[in-house]
Amino acid sequence: EPEVTQTPSHQVTQMGQEVILRCVPISNHLYFYWYRQILGQKVEFLVSFYNNEISEKSEIFDDQFSVERPDGSNFTLKIRSTKLEDSAMYFCASSEAPGDEQYFGPGTRLTVT
Amino acid sequence: GDSVTQMEGPVTLSEEAFLTINCTYTATGYPSLFWYVQYPGEGLQLLLKATKADDKGSNKGFEATYRKETTSFHLEKGSVQVSDSAVYFCAPLSGGYNKLIFGAGTRLAVHP
């Protein structure tokens, strides 16, 4: 069964450093998403992406965040200068069409020290 | 804005007990509704969905019915198993079809 994959599973970085989280969505899916879950809190939407453009972004997704689909398979989330409060589990998801069910990857745990 | 309210956990049950996890939402229009499950140490898995009023989603013995009049999507299972122990998230799709709005999650612990 096709699945969304994410790398790395755990990333530790120092405050102020740049990180790139990687995702490989399901191959025939066209819509991509990033969510995050701070420990013990809700899963929060960050951004949705379609046709090489951001469709929607939340207030969390400020200028420090960016997304890219650098090739036909990868979808990345970059945080330019990490802060302690960026520590969270980051989930990538994809769907075939808007309104369809979204399939999630296993997540990347980001720890900012 | 769109929001979701789930019953607080943890919910602790004995094996074979009946499960209900309540979920109500506020949203623009009539969004598709989803339940996701997160097993310990794993990501979010789609459990079931309903796309219009009175639809019943079902999977692995779990069911939920889209109730437009009460804006609810309660999750039920007739007989839980230890392997059902997980965190369950109710999530309507926002009016723009771009994002899921997650509830706080309800932790279920099933004991033998």
Question: Is the minimum CB–CB distance between A43 and chain B shorter than 8 Å?
Answer: yes
Inter-chain residue contact A42 with B104, CB threshold 8 Å:
yes
Quick one: pLDDT band at residue B95, thresholds 50, 70, 90?
low
C-alpha B55/C-alpha B70 separation (Å) is 14
Q: In the structure encoding, which two tokens stand for residue B105, read together?
A: 């999650």
Q: Per residue in B21-44, pLDDT tens?
A: 999 998 878 889 999 999 988 889
Q: In the structure encoding, which two tokens stand for residue A48, read together?
A: 């949705």
CB neighbour class for A24 (10 Å; exposed up to 12, middle 13-18, buried from 19): middle
The helices-and-strands tally (H runs, E runs) of chain B is 0, 11
CB neighbour class for A39 (10 Å; exposed up to 12, middle 13-18, buried from 19): exposed
Quick one: pLDDT band at residue A76, thresholds 50, 70, 90?
very high
In this structure, the number of other CB atoms found within 10 A of the CB of residue B77 comes to 20
Inter-chain residue contact A103 with B100, CB threshold 8 Å:
no
Residues of A in contact with B44 (CB under 8 A): 43, 91, 93, 104
Contacts of B41 (CB under 8 A, 6+ apart): none
Inter-chain residue contact A104 with B44, CB threshold 8 Å:
yes
C-alpha A110/C-alpha B74 separation (Å) is 33
Inter-chain residue contact A42 with B98, CB threshold 8 Å:
no
Q: Per residue in A2-55, pLDDT tens?
A: 899 999 999 999 999 999 999 999 999 999 999 999 988 889 999 999 999 999
